[in-house]
Amino acid sequence: MRGRIISRLRGWPRETRGAVMVEFAIACLVFLLIIAGILDLGHAFYMQQVVTNASREGARYGITYRTNTNGQRIAPSSLSPTIANYLLTGYLSQALLPADANPQVTPAGAGYTTGTKGANLEITVTALKSWFVLHNFVPGLSSQLNLRATTVMQCE
């Protein structure tokens, strides 16, 4: 009896039952964190693409040649809806950005006020990206990222 107890005590450190489960739990946690980080970065790249496309869409909307009923050229600053409203209520309102993105549209350039052929119209779109996971694990990374895209086109 005493020999059995001593042999069991000697074999106890070599016992591997349950070790696989512990290793799997640790590896699974690391794997899930990597997947969450990839999804978070992918969402940031997606949002940047939406902001870039919105600035292009707004610039294209503004530079297109339009006339009023008297045949006079309409400047981009006088368009109805405005470039900002066109993007915010049209293009960006289609659930392309999350609710907390707070997109802003800023038109500028000589072409915005005059609409003169060849004058530059500059459309800047900004939005906020709130990190889901990454800011908790990357030191120095703030909880939000400011995304910005600017497009410059010449009036037609």
Residue-wise pLDDT for 12-40, tens only, equals 666 667 778 888 999 999 999 999 999 99
Smallest Cα–Cα separation from 88: which of 130, 47, 125?
125
Report yes or no on 8 lying in a domain.
no
Report yes or no on 1 lying in a domain.
no
Domain that holds residue 117: 18-154
Report yes or no on 112 lying in a domain.
yes
Asked which of 17-21, 95-99, 103-107 is least confident by mean pLDDT, the reply is 17-21
Amino acid 129: pLDDT: 95
Report yes or no on 60 lying in a domain.
yes
Alpha helix positions (H), 87-144 = 110-114, 134-137
Q: What sign does the dihedral 127-133-138-143 (CA atoms) show? A: positive
Amino acid 81: pLDDT: 92
